[in-house]
A and B are shown apart, each in its own frame.
Chain A
Amino acid sequence: MYKSVFVWVWASLLSLAGCNSAAPPGPAADSATPAKAAAKPTVAYVTNGIASFWVIGAKGAEAAGREFGVNVEVRMPPKGVGDQKRMVQELLTQGIDGIAISPIDPDNQTDILNEAAAHSKLITQDSDAPHSNRLCYVGMDNYNAGRMCGQLVKEALGEAGGSVMLFVGRLEQLNARLRRQGLIDELMGREPDNTRYDAPGAEIKGEKYVVLDTRTDQFDFGKAKSLAQDAIARYPDLGCMVGLFAYNPPKCLEAIREAGKQGKIKLVAFDEDNDTLQGILDGDVFGTVVQNPYQYGYESVRILAGLARGDQSVLPQGGFMDISARKITKDNAAEFWQDLKRLTEPGGK
């Protein structure tokens, strides 16, 4: 009896191993390539989580890898800061030539970031860690992007103004904080100052606009939707919802549609989720502010490839490469979406 069970377990393990070797070529297969294959340097592209946004970023990183002759290892930490730290340590252990990272909690990750900077070439992308020893930052100015988002909210609500509820995955991240602050400052008509911080949990009242609160879901998609539902239930005359991470607006949109409040509650988005873009074309999403993750990946790897070969001239002036954000509304959504599809198609450039 037991003999047959062991045979069965062993056989299933073997067949699993077989499945693995038959894996289709992709990021996983790339990362299995030995780091020292030929004399090609190997650089890493580390994200802050798993999202379609990062799939586009990885495509840009891989394209630059082909163009500038480096191996690219993409790492997407599924479980937050602890996972990201482990992945960076593993990369350092394998002697990686350069790391581009989107730090999840920059203020508290200085140790691991400096460790990486000491043993490899470290740059930040998407979200900056200004207090670490990173060589440069590739990304957009999140505070300005937040102000852009605020302009969209103003356009959506019109002269009358109204109440606004914010939704975001996590507020520990610098990019989330800056976007939120830029948005609030724009709505309150304040002078630009990216060091200001209004703590969440209290209403912020301006002349025309009221920012009710900021809801965080810690990347739980189900929770993101139920938080939007709860906001609709609690504030019957809610004017506008803003989703600050890529997956937030589609969840808000679902909640708005199920409540039959299309048009009554305006929705302003961030990033370029397919559902968000479709929502703009359908007229249920007013507009979105998009970054350029493809370019983040591409420029990060281009800089790391240069650094790995000892070329310091690739570093941008002032340690900041600005890849600015854009506003997408009904006017330019179709065109933007087409470009995006071209970029993300297999083999697309």
Chain B
Amino acid sequence: MKKTLGILGLLIAVCVSTAALSPNFLKAYNVENITTWTSLFGILSIGVAFVIMTGGIDLSIGSVVGLTGCLLPWLLVQKHVDPVSSIALVMLVSLAIGLLHGFLITKMRLQPFVVTLCGLLFYRGFARWFTGDETQGFGNGFAGLRYLAVGRVPIPFVSGWHLPVPFLIMATIAVAAAIFLNQTIYGRYLLALGRNEQAARYSGIHTDRMIMLAYLICSLLAGLGGILFSLEINSIQPSGHGDFYELYAIAAAVLGGCSLRGGEGSILGVVIGAAVMRVLYNAINLLGIPTQLEFAIIGMVILAGVIFDELVKRLAARRRTVASPAQATPPAAF
């Protein structure tokens, strides 16, 4: 919990300052939009967080989003496959991708960076090939299916406010992921092997199996995210859909307290990290800041947040040292 305080502070600071400067920020319509986008990106971020906790990386997320996002409307509209089989098939493809990554990384001992970078190129190229580069979409149909992404559930006793359906999906996934990570032995294995894989293996943990599981979760959630993104956006360009999304996901995970060295991370932090990114985008538009400055501002705020977080941690460490010099351990390398 303590680890997420810094990022939560950043989120609150950005929200409060935007709300103070723009009366439209806290309107139901705007909050619902931000929540939807946060949830969609949050699902990807939770997935990649598992991989990052093992000390790995997954660069193929954006392309998996692109592939599954094209595959679903292609199956439904062009091949007339029924919705349930289509979704099952798309999830199966994501599962296979995760298994392939896990296999190549654990059994072939290839570096995750290389495996998933090749995945990034391959899935994108494959999506462009089987669609013939033609934009895919659901047209005006499949309203029931699209409800998963654009649906809004009224909040009881609060009139005018709704919960976007993607938020409910993301929240369910986040709770399940948090329980898995914190309350089950396997979650502890995952964190342990991220800190020191050899030590974990020597203490009897099937590290290969756990790493494979992490990549499986990551690709599965990327596939699910891809489905929801395509349902939300409705027209999917095979060459560009999901481009760069892996970096947004990784940034949110790292912002939320995952260490790229592995062994650390919290699901709540990751979700808050995803929210910070989306709120920043929204704030730039609402405050009338020139959109050309978008990336510059987001980069700057995130960097400032991470520096602040690091300073707070050091201060806390120093206080502990002063308070109990007897048990003091040397602070981590600066």
- Binding-face segment, A102-110, A139-147, A218-226: A218-226
Measured between beta carbons, the chain B residues less than 8 angstroms from A227 are 285
A31 to B27, CA, bound (A): 52
Q: Which A residue's beta carbon lies closest to that of B128?
A: A78
Is the Cβ of B133 less than 8 Å from the Cβ of A221? no
A-B contact count (CB 8 A): 94
Chain A: how many interface residues by the 8 Å CB criterion? 40
A220 to B239, CA, bound (A): 10
Is the Cβ of B107 less than 8 Å from the Cβ of A5? yes
**A1-32 at interface with B (beta carbon < 8 Å):** 1, 5, 23, 26-28
| Interface flags, B122-135, vs A, CB<8A=1, else 0 | 00000011001111
Measured between beta carbons, the chain A residues less than 8 angstroms from B140 are 275, 278
Is the Cβ of B286 less than 8 Å from the Cβ of A247? no
Measured CB to CB, the closest approach of chain A to B237, in angstroms, equals 6
A199 to B134, CA, bound (A): 34
| Interface flags, A293-332, vs B, CB<8A=1, else 0 | 0000000000000000000000000000000000000000
A55 close to B (CB within 8 Å)? yes
A221-B233, A221-B236 given; A230·B286 CB < 8 A: yes
A110 to B289, CA, bound (A): 32
A222-B233, A236-B24 given; A216·B291 CB < 8 A: yes
Q: Which B residue's beta carbon lies closest to that of A217?
A: B291
B235 close to A (CB within 8 Å)? yes
| Interface flags, B180-204, vs A, CB<8A=1, else 0 | 0000000000000000000000000
Select B134's contact among A55, A216, A234, beta carbons within 8 Å: A55
Is the Cβ of A220 less than 8 Å from the Cβ of B240? yes
Q: Which A residue's beta carbon lies closest to that of B239?
A: A78
Measured between beta carbons, the chain A residues less than 8 angstroms from B107 are 1, 5
Measured CB to CB, the closest approach of chain B to A265, in angstroms, equals 13
Q: Which A residue's beta carbon lies closest to that of B40?
A: A222
A251 to B233, CA, bound (A): 8
A233 close to B (CB within 8 Å)? yes
**A218-267 at interface with B (beta carbon < 8 Å):** 219-222, 225-227, 229-234, 236, 247, 250-251, 254, 258-259
Is the Cβ of A259 less than 8 Å from the Cβ of B29? yes
Is the Cβ of A230 less than 8 Å from the Cβ of B237? no
| Interface flags, B231-243, vs A, CB<8A=1, else 0 | 0111111111101
Is the Cβ of B235 less than 8 Å from the Cβ of A221? yes
A222 to B166, CA, bound (A): 15
Measured between beta carbons, the chain B residues less than 8 angstroms from A231 are 285
**B233-285 at interface with A (beta carbon < 8 Å):** 233-241, 243, 281-282, 285
Is the Cβ of B135 less than 8 Å from the Cβ of A229? no
A234-B22, A259-B29 given; A52·B285 CB < 8 A: no
Measured CB to CB, the closest approach of chain B to A17, in angstroms, equals 13
| Interface flags, A73-91, vs B, CB<8A=1, else 0 | 0001011000000000000
Is the Cβ of A232 less than 8 Å from the Cβ of B241? no
Chain A contact residues, majority secondary structure = helix
A78-B240, A233-B27 given; A247·B235 CB < 8 A: yes
A216 to B285, CA, bound (A): 11
A99 to B327, CA, bound (A): 75
Measured between beta carbons, the chain A residues less than 8 angstroms from B239 are 50, 78-79
Measured CB to CB, the closest approach of chain B to A176, in angstroms, equals 15
Measured CB to CB, the closest approach of chain A to B240, in angstroms, equals 6
Is the Cβ of A50 less than 8 Å from the Cβ of B237? yes
Measured between beta carbons, the chain B residues less than 8 angstroms from A52 are 134-135
A236 to B229, CA, bound (A): 26
Is the Cβ of A275 less than 8 Å from the Cβ of B291? no
Is the Cβ of B237 less than 8 Å from the Cβ of A234? no
Is the Cβ of B24 less than 8 Å from the Cβ of A234? yes
Is the Cβ of B27 less than 8 Å from the Cβ of A221? no
Is the Cβ of A226 less than 8 Å from the Cβ of B132? no
A120 close to B (CB within 8 Å)? no
A34 close to B (CB within 8 Å)? no
A133 close to B (CB within 8 Å)? no
Measured between beta carbons, the chain B residues less than 8 angstroms from A179 are none
Is the Cβ of A258 less than 8 Å from the Cβ of B150? yes
B86 close to A (CB within 8 Å)? no
B290 close to A (CB within 8 Å)? yes
Is the Cβ of B235 less than 8 Å from the Cβ of A215? no
B139 close to A (CB within 8 Å)? yes
Measured between beta carbons, the chain A residues less than 8 angstroms from B24 are 233-234, 236
Select A226's contact among B33, B108, B137, beta carbons within 8 Å: B33
Contacts A/B (CB < 8 Å), 13 sampled: A50-B133, A215-B291, A220-B243, A221-B235, A221-B236, A222-B232, A226-B282, A232-B29, A233-B27, A233-B286, A234-B22, A247-B235, A251-B235
Per CB-CB distance, the 10 closest pairs between chain A and chain B, nearest first, are A78-B239, A230-B285, A233-B30, A229-B33, A50-B239, A201-B290, A233-B24, A234-B286, A50-B133, A221-B233
Known contacts A78-B240, A215-B291, A230-B30, then 8 further A-B pairs from the complex at CB < 8 Å, ordered by chain A residue: A27-B132, A222-B232, A226-B37, A230-B286, A233-B25, A233-B286, A234-B286, A251-B235
